[in-house]
């Protein structure tokens, strides 16, 4: 495992060998086992995988948002702050972490309705987020700022909406409000966890457009979690494919989509139906996602892999380079 | 918001009419001739009986009787046939006593239940959490009157504390001030005056705080008992509600936004309070019931005793007035709880 | 564990009987039987539940046989013969052997013997009130919630009116006016008199007091049903919109079938828990009404009534009566409360999953 243990010049985040476990009554769940990735300034990185593959846990672990019975066992999360200082988010003090959260790293959660406190207005949410990090701002000023933010995320009549409560808005507007709240301190990194899954398809497109534009405007790095490959193709620069708590393939979007090397990636791409072609039956990947309480030894995909060899059953494959920026974790690539 | 309040008050009225009807039906169910009991054995002769019957319209059909009683009730003229005094002046002082006990019980309840609930949530699965659970179970299994006797045993016999006799009340000047309020402020003034007629609240309005102190000293024993009995239950509700709030997405989002710990707690507590307020409102009826039982044990001249005496004497008008008044207070408290609920939770305001 | 095996054999007994009546039943309901086994397992693993269940069982036995094994008849006023027998303090052998262990009451009767009658009275009243009041409220709530419209409005208005009174106040009002009527009814109707007296373990001679007891019963049922109606109606309103109800409607099921076979099972679990807790509440409520003087008077040894009498001599002479009878009431209510607490955990699918895991692990390990 030859990972870089320092932050590259134009990198804003680098996660190294992250391991997260959950100690439940049913046993120890190995949710994330040795995941590494990085995000460059201004680029959009996608984390792709089925439900339960560990994408959400990984991103929450970045700012130590994991709560009991979960525990971050080991790893490094290197982050370059606004003042150019590089810190390991897993090791800094609680107070410093609090300064970074919502300020330099922001989150957008999957369900906008439950992310908002139903007893407070949108404007108040923004006011809170701003004043948590900048002390001397008056309510009037944050109100004006909030209206501007809401306008930026394309919410009509923002002066009215800023005083609305969450239940007075539609799903799309709520999600846009959540984006506005997250962006209120102009973070360097935005982590968006399936931001459009709960929305109508038409709204999805709008939100994605929005996110792309704002990314350019604020020069933010984005980590986008999704299981929708179409969104990945539209929005991301690079992609990491995850399975059962590990990264199985990583690379530029074009590379992974046009030249997938890991059997899982290939099966995944094949299962997306082409609306222009007539198909007899839908492709799926046979088998089930393994239980992470006792993950299979060796390569975690081997029980479902049509090309599994003897070695796959016993040993966990390391990363093998395919081309520049394109790597996969599969023994089939060893011959080269 | 004003519209919400108005709407709630409007639905209040048919309920109130129904309450009147039910009260009347209850009293009407007494089969024996109440008039005999009212007049008493000494004056028992046909002319007196007939006169009293005329006065209360017993010879008229039932709907005339009903309207007569409602009229008397609402204009405050209902007369106690046994004591020959206006029912409302009789009820007045006794009723405020029962309310005071219930209110003091409520204060103890909140003071005991809420902090314990928060503590149990913070120290989940600790001995404190377990103790709260036990307290809730025992509190709802212990008969109130037994606890009253037990506390008497403990506090009077072993610790030799004393308590006052008599009912503390405010000065005459204060009473006149309170009854004068409706003259200066129309509708709201009546409400304020009604609240102020309870000595405790009246004292607060007139700045005669020593009366509040005296009232506490008089009634702290049943109040404490009520707080202990129901406190465990409230603590459990608070605990569960707080745990629910703390594990919700908006709290995670609040942490992800880098809000200070205190701010995050503020969010959790405010949300947790919503169901707790509802339960407290529902519990108030239990507090009133507990207060009524306390009157028997502590020999307090409250409305429970009054009702019971009038029941044995078939004192028809008093029964109606008492039941009606209690229902009125209870419905009002529920209304206040609903409004409070809407203040805290904007989703309710439709 | 012993408890688990007892329940398991009960389950299989029941299954065997059903199978006898309609062959093939066991096959069809195998998953339901498995559910019951899991619930029995979860119950046996809960110390609170087993404790509560045992307490309830003991109280039940005492209530059933109490009036038969009591060594002193309640209708004898011992103090007529000997004044000094009133409120004798408790007396423990071997230090003292000439008086009853727990002392005597106002009329010189052995408190422990009286409590055996008391168990029967309190137990029967609490159970029957809930078993009558709850279904009444449930049915009304089902109809109101499902039909909606004017039926709903009327039922809701009526429940609002009843709920406008604190329970005790309403019960006081009803319990005070009903005895006259009921006494009349009991005078004429011999069958009712015999049956009801036997039910409460009293002699027919005391039908006057029985009338007071029945009035408390009626008053409590009247107070009890609105709560259930409200809650069930709320549940029905949320279940009503679900797709599977629509499917049932489309497949032509009658309203009653839908109500009882589809909606009711879905709203029933919390109601069962509520009923268990309510039995505890009803026990204390009935005792409170008697305490206030609305229930049977002497010689009937109703627990609340005996305590109220003792209250007049408290604390100089009658502490033992209050403590002993108070503990009895506490035990009766506590048993049901513990049981309800355990049932709530068992019927909650989330906690049940945790217990399932433990069971499987135990089976393997």
Question: For residue B77, what pLDDT band results from cuts at 50, 70 and 90?
Answer: low
Q: Measured between beta carbons, which residues in chain A are less than 8 angstroms from residue B249?
A: 109, 111, 114-115
Would the pLDDT of B41 be above 60?
no
Mean pLDDT lowest among A9-13, A294-298, B67-71:
B67-71
B125 pLDDT more than 90? no
Cβ atoms of residues C85 and C77 within 8 Å: no
In degrees and rounded to multiples of 5, residue A166 shows phi and psi of: -55, -40
Condensed to tens digits (0 to 9), the pLDDT of residues C136-161 reads: 998 888 888 877 778 888 888 888 88
- pLDDT > 90 in chain A, percent: 35
Residue of C55 and B37 predicted with greater confidence: C55
pLDDT band at B52 (very low <50, low <70, confident <90, very high): low
Residue in B closest to C305 by C-alpha:
B145
Average pLDDT over residues C91-114: 78
The CA distance from C33 to C269, in Å, is 17
Chains in contact with chain A (at least 3 beta-carbon pairs closer than 8 A) = B, C
- How do residues C282-338 score in pLDDT, each as one tens digit? 999 999 989 888 888 878 888 998 888 888 887 777 888 888 899 999 999 999 999
Closest C-chain CA to B333: C164
Minimal CA separation from B170 to chain C, in Å: 28
Q: Is there a contact between B306 and B322 (Cβ–Cβ < 8 Å)? A: yes
Structure tokens at C88: 């004798």
Task: Give mean pLDDT, residues B48-69.
Answer: 66
For residues B305 and B245, what is the distance between their CA atoms, to the nearest angstrom? Answer: 43
pLDDT score of B95: 81
Q: Rounded distance, CA A154 to CA A219, Å? A: 19
Nearest CA among B91, B107, B100 for reference residue B164: B100
Residues of C in contact with A25 (CB under 8 A): 354, 357-358
Residue C10 pLDDT: 85
User: pTM of the full predicted structure?
Assistant: 0.83
What is the C-alpha end-to-end distance of chain C, expressed in Å?
A: 16
Q: Could you tell me which chain A residue has the CA closest to the CA of B268?
A: A117
Q: Are strands A11-24 and B79-80 parallel, antiparallel or unpaired?
A: unpaired
More confident residue, A245 or C242: A245
Q: How many other β-carbons are positioned within 10 Å of the β-carbon of residue B68?
A: 16
pLDDT tier at C43, thresholds 50, 70, 90? confident
A136 has pLDDT over 90: no
Chain C partners (3+ C-beta pairs within 8 A): A, B
Better-predicted residue by pLDDT, B211 or B129: B129
Nearest alpha-carbon partner for B216 in B231, B205, B232, B227: B227
C230/C71 Cα distance (integer angstroms)? 46
> How large is the average pLDDT for residues B36-40?
56
Asked if A36 has any chain B CB less than 8 Å from its own CB, the reply is no
- Least confident range of A77-91, A162-176, B187-201, C104-118: B187-201
A92 at B interface, C-beta within 8 A: no
CB burial of residue C71 (10 Å; 0-12, 13-18, 19+): exposed
Q: What percent of chain C has pLDDT over 70?
A: 95
Per CB-CB distance under 8 Å, the chain A contacts of B252 are: 65, 109, 115
Query: What single string gives the DSSP state of each residue in A243-280?
Result: ETTEEEEEEEHHHHHHS--SHHHHHHHHTS--TTS--S
**What is the nearest CA distance from C276 to chain A, expressed in angstroms?**
29
Lowest mean pLDDT, pick from A247-261, B40-54, C77-91, C319-333: B40-54
Question: String of b and e for B326-342 (b: at least 16 CB within 10 Å)?
Answer: bbbbbbebbbebbebbb
The reply to whether residue A115 touches residue B258, judged by beta carbons under 8 angstroms, is no
Instruction: Report chain A residues whose CB lies below 8 A from the CB of B255.
Output: 65, 101
pLDDT tens column, A274-300: 777 777 777 778 788 888 887 878 888
Q: Of A211-215, A265-269, B48-52, C121-125, which gets the smallest average pLDDT?
A: B48-52
Contacts of B275 (CB under 8 A, 6+ apart): B237, B241
Q: Residue B320: is it exposed, middle or buried by C-beta count within 10 angstroms (0-12/13-18/19+)?
A: buried
Query: In the A/B pair of chains, how many CB contacts fall below 8 A?
Result: 73
Residues of B in contact with C337 (CB under 8 A): 137, 140-141
Please return the burial class of A151, using the count of CB atoms within 10 Å of its CB with bins 0-12, 13-18 and 19+: middle
State the ipTM, two decimals: 0.89
Q: Would you state the pLDDT for residue C211? A: 84
pLDDT of C364 reads 66
Q: Tell me what pLDDT residue B250 has.
A: 93
CA-CA distance, A105 to A64, in Å (whole number)?
12
Q: Which residue(s) pair with A240 in the sheet? A: A47, A250
Query: Averaged over C189-214, what is the pLDDT?
Result: 82
Mean per-residue pLDDT, B187-216: 76
Nearest to C285 by CA among C222, C353, C231: C222
Q: Which residues of chain B neighbour A109 with C-beta distances below 8 Å? A: 249, 252-253, 256
- Residue A1: pLDDT band with limits 50, 70, 90: very low
Q: pLDDT grade, residue B37 (50/70/90)?
A: low
B191-216: b (≥16 Cβ within 10 Å) or e: ebbbbbbbbbbbbbbbebeebbebbb
When the pLDDT of each residue in chain B is averaged and rounded to a whole number, the result is 78
Helix (H, G, I), strand (E, B) or coil at B184: helix
Q: Is A93 on the interface with B (CB under 8 A)?
A: no
What is the C-alpha separation between A110 and A57, in angstroms, rounded? 13
- Per the prediction, chain C carries an average pLDDT of 82
Are the CB atoms for B258 and B185 separated by under 8 Å?
no
Give per-residue pLDDT as tens, A153-170.
888 899 999 998 998 888
Of the candidates C354, C333, C335, the residue with the CA atom closest to the CA atom of residue C345? C354
**pLDDT confidence of residue B228:** 92
Q: Chain A residues with CB inside 8 Å of C358's CB?
A: 25
According to DSSP, residue A105 is labeled E
Residue A116, number of CB atoms within 10 A of its CB: 25
- Cβ contact A13:A42 at 8 Å: no
Bridge partner list, A18:
A35
Banded pLDDT at A19 (limits 50, 70, 90): very high
Interface of B with A (CB under 8 A): 248-250, 252-260, 263, 267, 270-271, 274, 344-347
Count A/C contacts: CB-CB distance under 8 Å.
5
Q: Count chain B–chain C contacts defined by CB atoms under 8 A.
A: 147
B311 touches C: beta carbon within 8 Å:
yes
């Amino acid at each position: 495992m030859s990972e870089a243990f320092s932050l590259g010049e134009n990198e804003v985040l680098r996660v190294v060998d992250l391991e997260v476990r959950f100690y439940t009554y049913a046993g120890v769940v190995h949710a994330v086992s040795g995941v590494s990735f990085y995000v460059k300034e201004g680029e959009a990185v996608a984390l792709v995988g089925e439900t339960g593959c560990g994408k959400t846990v990984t991103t929450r672990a970045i700012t130590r948002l994991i709560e009991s019975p979960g525990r971050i066992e080991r790893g490094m999360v290197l982050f370059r702050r606004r003042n150019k200082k590089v810190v390991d988010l897993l090791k800094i003090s609680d107070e410093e972490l609090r300064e970074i959260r919502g300020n330099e790293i922001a989150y957008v959660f999957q369900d906008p309705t439950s992310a908002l406190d139903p007893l407070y207005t949108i404007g108040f949410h923004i006011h809170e987020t701003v004043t948590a990090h900048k002390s001397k701002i008056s309510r009037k000023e944050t109100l004006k700022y909030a209206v501007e933010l809401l306008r930026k995320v394309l919410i009509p009549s923002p002066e009215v909406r800023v005083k609305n409560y969450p239940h007075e808005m539609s799903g799309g507007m709520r999600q846009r409000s959540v984006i506005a709240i997250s962006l209120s301190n102009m973070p360097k990194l935005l982590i968006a966890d399936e931001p459009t899954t709960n929305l109508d398809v038409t709204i999805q497109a709008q939100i994605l457009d929005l996110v792309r534009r704002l990314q350019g405007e604020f020069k933010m790095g984005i980590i986008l979690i999704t299981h929708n490959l179409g969104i990945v193709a539209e929005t991301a620069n690079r992609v990491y494919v995850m399975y059962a708590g590990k990264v199985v393939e990583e690379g530029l979007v074009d590379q992974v989509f046009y030249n997938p090397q890991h059997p899982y990636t290939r099966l995944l791409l094949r299962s997306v139906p082409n609306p222009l072609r007539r198909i007899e039956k839908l492709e799926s990947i046979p088998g089930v996602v393994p239980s992470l309480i006792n993950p299979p030894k060796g390569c975690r995909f081997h029980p479902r892999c049509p090309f599994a060899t003897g070695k796959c059953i016993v040993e966990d494959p390391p990363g093998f380079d395919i081309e520049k920026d394109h790597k996969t974790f599969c023994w089939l690539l060893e011959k080269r | 918001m004003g519209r919400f309040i108005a709407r709630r008050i409007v639905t209040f009225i048919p309920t109130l009419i129904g309450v009147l009807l039910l009260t009347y039906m209850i009293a009407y169910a007494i089969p024996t001739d109440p008039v005999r009991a009212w007049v008493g054995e000494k004056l028992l002769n046909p002319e007196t009986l007939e006169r009293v019957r005329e006065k209360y319209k017993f010879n008229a059909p039932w709907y005339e009787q009903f309207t007569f009683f409602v009229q008397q009730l609402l204009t405050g003229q209902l007369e106690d046939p046994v004591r020959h005094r206006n029912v409302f002046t009789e009820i007045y002082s006794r009723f405020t006593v029962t309310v005071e006990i219930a209110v003091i019980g409520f204060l103890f309840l909140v003071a005991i239940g809420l902090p314990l609930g928060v503590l149990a949530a913070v120290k989940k699965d600790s001995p404190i959490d377990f103790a709260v659970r036990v307290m809730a179970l025992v509190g709802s299994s212990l008969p109130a009157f037994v606890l009253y006797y037990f506390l008497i045993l403990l506090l009077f016999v072993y610790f030799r504390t004393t308590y006052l006799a008599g009912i503390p009340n405010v000065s005459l000047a204060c009473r006149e001030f309170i009854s004068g309020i409706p003259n200066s402020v129309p509708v709201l003034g009546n409400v304020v005056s009604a609240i102020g007629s309870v000595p405790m609240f009246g004292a607060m309005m007139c700045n005669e705080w020593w009366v509040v102190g005296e009232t506490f000293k008089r009634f702290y024993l049943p109040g404490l008992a009520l707080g202990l009995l129901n406190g465990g239950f409230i603590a459990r509700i608070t605990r569960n509600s707080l745990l629910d709030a703390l594990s919700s997405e908006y709290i995670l989002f609040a942490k992800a936004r880098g809000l200070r710990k205190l701010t995050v707690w503020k969010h959790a507590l405010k949300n947790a309070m919503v169901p707790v307020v509802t339960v407290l409102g529902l519990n108030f009826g239990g507090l009133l019931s507990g207060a009524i039982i306390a009157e028997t044990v502590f020999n307090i001249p409250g409305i429970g005793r009054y009702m019971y005496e009038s029941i044995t004497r078939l004192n028809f008008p008093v029964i109606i007035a008492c039941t009606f008044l209690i229902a009125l207070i209870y419905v009002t408290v529920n209304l206040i709880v609903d409004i409070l609920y809407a203040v805290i939770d904007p989703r309710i305001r439709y | 564990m012993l408890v688990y095996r007892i329940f398991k054999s009960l389950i299989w007994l029941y299954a065997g009987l059903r199978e006898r009546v309609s062959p093939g039943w066991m096959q069809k309901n195998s998953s339901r039987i498995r559910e019951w086994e899991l619930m029995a397992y979860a119950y046996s693993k809960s110390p609170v539940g087993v404790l509560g269940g045992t307490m309830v069982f003991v109280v039940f036995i005492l209530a059933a046989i109490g009036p038969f094994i009591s060594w002193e008849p309640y209708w004898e006023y011992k103090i007529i013969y000997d004044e000094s027998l009133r409120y004798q303090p408790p007396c423990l052998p071997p230090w003292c052997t000439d008086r009853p262990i727990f002392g005597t009451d106002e009329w010189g009767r052995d408190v422990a013997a009286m409590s055996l009658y008391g168990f029967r009275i309190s137990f029967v009243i609490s159970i029957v009130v809930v078993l009558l009041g709850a279904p009444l409220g449930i049915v009304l709530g089902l109809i109101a919630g499902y039909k909606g419209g004017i039926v709903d409005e009327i039922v809701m208005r009526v429940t609002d009116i009843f709920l406008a009174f604190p329970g005790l106040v309403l019960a006081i009002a009803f319990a005070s006016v009903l005895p006259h009527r009921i006494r009349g009814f009991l005078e004429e109707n011999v069958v009712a008199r015999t049956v009801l007296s036997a039910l409460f373990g009293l002699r027919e001679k005391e039908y006057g007091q029985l009338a007071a007891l029945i009035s408390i019963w009626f008053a409590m049922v009247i107070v009890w049903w609105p709560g259930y109606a409200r809650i069930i109606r709320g549940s029905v309103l949320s279940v009503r919109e679900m797709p599977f109800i629509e499917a049932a409607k489309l497949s032509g099921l009658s309203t009653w079938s839908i109500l009882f076979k589809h909606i009711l099972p879905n709203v029933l679990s919390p109601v069962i828990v509520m009923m268990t807790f309510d039995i505890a509440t009803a026990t204390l409520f009935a005792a409170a009404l008697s305490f206030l003087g609305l229930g049977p008077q002497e010689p009937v040894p109703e627990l609340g009534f005996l305590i109220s009498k003792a209250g007049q001599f408290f604390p100089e002479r009658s502490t033992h009566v209050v403590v002993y009878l108070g503990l009895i009431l506490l035990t009766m209510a506590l048993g049901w409360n513990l049981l309800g607490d355990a049932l709530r955990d068992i019927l909650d699918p989330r906690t049940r999953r945790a217990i399932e895991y433990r069971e499987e692990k135990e089976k393997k390990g």
